[in-house]
């Protein structure tokens, strides 16, 4: 019995299902974000601001991943966009088959941009492809500027980094330039945004970039 | 092939090794804390304040667990206490065998209190017993007051909760009473501390409690 081999088989099976998801997304010309971060970095808050900003311009849908509770889906319910909650019951990351099952709840023909909010975990979700177009990693300034170096896989596998809670910079031991430099050292092609979901700083830059990523539907 | 069965076997093997660690700790009358939290909640900062406060009264030793880098061990090096760094190379939690191997680097006869700083992850380390006397879960006020409900296993399996960064409460959307109520709803016997490693608020209460947990050596 080799645990490594089993893990590889689990990942291979996941990759096969992720490829099926990706094909489905591509067929519907969907842009799909897999949003990853530690607990409490502000994923759901960024989603709220994003829906407020883009909701009238693009047809959004959300898959919420949580270890327990459907609180995040409840928070988004007031925006009247399609939201499906996945509760992993202790599972530390979303997998492609969970997303595949969740997709049956959407009318994908009526969606331009699907955002999957992963479980709050800066380690495990890095290894599980969901079929997304791009991983976006979020981190809060309160987590400290050394985190890209200490948790490199997530930053290496992401296309964009959103540095959230910049309004707290005066009060925390986090140097923005060091943080960005550390992130770019791990992944020089990371597109970096600086946001505050409280003051709304940087939200329009993030949303404008996201909007131009979404294919124009005929 | 059943992944569930394999996972159970991995956990059973871990539990056997954890029991051996626990017996070793008990033989040396060691109090051992397994400190768990998300990345950036302030585990290493709390360790620094704890060493400053207790270092002259108790013989401390630290095991640092990180996905990558030995930055945390470097931070603690200036305190001249025994520190061993475990780098998991992508692994999302410490396991009992890693701790068992690390223990060979200490003279356990000369230690009263061993603190194991786990990998920053509020999900996976909950399931892996290291042989510790007690898990202590740390969270930062910036992570939000709903986290005990959303990541319940860690709060259920811990003996104490340290709510860190209370100096940031005026600037964040976190209600301390709600946070404590949510934590106690998951685990009514949690001992709760409120700290700031910046202003040193609550550090002496935390350290005094910790110190009286350490058995008096003959």
Which chain B residues are Cβ-neighbours of A124 within 8 angstroms?
92, 121, 123-124
CA distance linking residue B205 with residue B186, whole number of Å = 23
Whether residue A94 is predicted with pLDDT greater than 90 in this model: the reply is yes
- Bridge partners of residue A163, in order along the sequence: A139, A194
Contact B171 A173 (CB under 8 A): no
Strand B31-36: give its sheet, edge to edge: B83-87, B60-66, B113-117, B31-36, B134-140, B160-164, B191-194
Outline where B70-135 has alpha helix (H): 71-77, 96-103
For residue A3, name the pLDDT band (cuts at 50, 70, 90).
low
Which chain A residues are Cβ-neighbours of B167 within 8 angstroms?
171
Contact B147 A6 (CB under 8 A): no
CB of A22 less than 8 A from some CB of B: no
Interval B130-138 mean pLDDT: 98
For residue A218, name the pLDDT band (cuts at 50, 70, 90).
low
Cβ-based burial of B122 (10 A; exposed 0-12, middle 13-18, buried ≥19): buried
Residue A117: both structure tokens together: 């909010």
Spell out where chain A has E strands: 31-36, 60-66, 83-87, 113-117, 134-140, 160-164, 191-194
- Burial letters for B34-59: b for 16+ Cβ neighbours within 10 Å, e otherwise? bbbbbbbbbbbbbbbbbbebbeeebb
Q: At what angle do helices A96-103 and A3-27 cross, to 10 degrees?
A: 30
CA distance linking residue A77 with residue A157, whole number of Å = 30
For residue A132, name the pLDDT band (cuts at 50, 70, 90).
very high
For residue B1, name the pLDDT band (cuts at 50, 70, 90).
very low
Interval B203-212 mean pLDDT: 97
pLDDT tens-place string over residues A162-185: 999 999 999 999 999 999 999 999
CB of A87 less than 8 A from some CB of B: no
- Range in A20-29, A208-217, B184-193 the model is least confident about: A208-217
Interval A103-107 mean pLDDT: 97
Cα distances (angstroms) measured from residue B87 to each of B51, B64, B71, B128? 22, 8, 11, 16
pLDDT tens-place string over residues B23-40: 999 999 999 999 999 999
CA distance linking residue A131 with residue B155, whole number of Å = 32
Which chain A residues are Cβ-neighbours of B123 within 8 angstroms?
67, 90, 92, 119-121, 124
Residue B183: both structure tokens together: 């934590």
For residue B4, the model assigns a pLDDT of 59
For residue B9, the model assigns a pLDDT of 83
Write out the DSSP string of A41-55.
Answer: SSHHHHHHHHHHHHT
CA distance linking residue A204 with residue B216, whole number of Å = 59
Which chain B residues are Cβ-neighbours of A147 within 8 angstroms?
39-40
What share of chain A has pLDDT > 90, as a percent? Answer: 93
CA distance linking residue B176 with residue B166, whole number of Å = 9
Residue A192 DSSP one-character state:
E
Q: Are A36 and A160 in contact (CB under 8 A)?
A: no
CB of B40 less than 8 A from some CB of A: yes
Spell out where B27-153 has E strands: 31-36, 60-66, 83-87, 113-117, 134-140
For residue B10, the model assigns a pLDDT of 84
Residue B84: both structure tokens together: 């061993």
Query: A2-213 has which CATH code?
Result: 3.40.50.300
Q: Tell me the three state secondary structure of residue B85.
A: strand
> What mean pLDDT, rounded, does chain A reach?
95
Cα distances (angstroms) measured from residue A208 to each of A53, A54, A156, A212, A214? 9, 8, 23, 6, 10
Interval B81-98 mean pLDDT: 96
For residue B58, the model assigns a pLDDT of 96
pLDDT tens-place string over residues A57-68: 999 999 999 999
Q: Are B149 and A71 in contact (CB under 8 A)?
A: yes
Residue B197: both structure tokens together: 């490693």
For residue A158, the model assigns a pLDDT of 98
Interval B57-76 mean pLDDT: 96
Global confidence as pTM:
0.94
């Amino acid at each position: 019995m080799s645990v490594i081999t089993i893990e590889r088989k689990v990942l291979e099976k996941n990759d096969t299902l992720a490829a099926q998801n990706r094909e489905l997304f591509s067929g519907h010309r969907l842009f799909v974000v897999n949003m990853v971060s530690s607990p409490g970095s502000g994923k759901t808050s960024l989603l709220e601001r994003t829906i407020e900003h883009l909701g009238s311009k693009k047809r959004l849908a959300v898959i919420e991943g949580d270890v327990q509770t459907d609180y995040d889906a409840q928070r988004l319910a007031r925006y009247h966009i399609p939201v499906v909650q996945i509760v992993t019951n202790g599972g530390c990351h979303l997998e492609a088959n969970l997303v595949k099952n969740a997709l049956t709840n959407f009318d994908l023909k009526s969606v331009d941009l699907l955002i999957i909010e992963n479980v709050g975990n800066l380690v495990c979700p890095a290894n599980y492809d969901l079929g997304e177009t791009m991983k976006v990693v979020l981190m809060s300034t309160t987590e400290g500027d050394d985190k890209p170096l200490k948790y490199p896989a997530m930053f290496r596998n992401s296309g964009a980094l959103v540095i959230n809670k910049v309004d707290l910079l005066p009060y925390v031991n986090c140097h923005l330039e060091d943080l960005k430099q550390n992130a770019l050292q791990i992944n020089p092609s990371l597109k970096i945004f600086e946001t505050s979901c409280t003051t709304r700083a940087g939200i329009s830059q993030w949303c404008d970039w996201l909007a131009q990523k979404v294919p124009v539907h005929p």
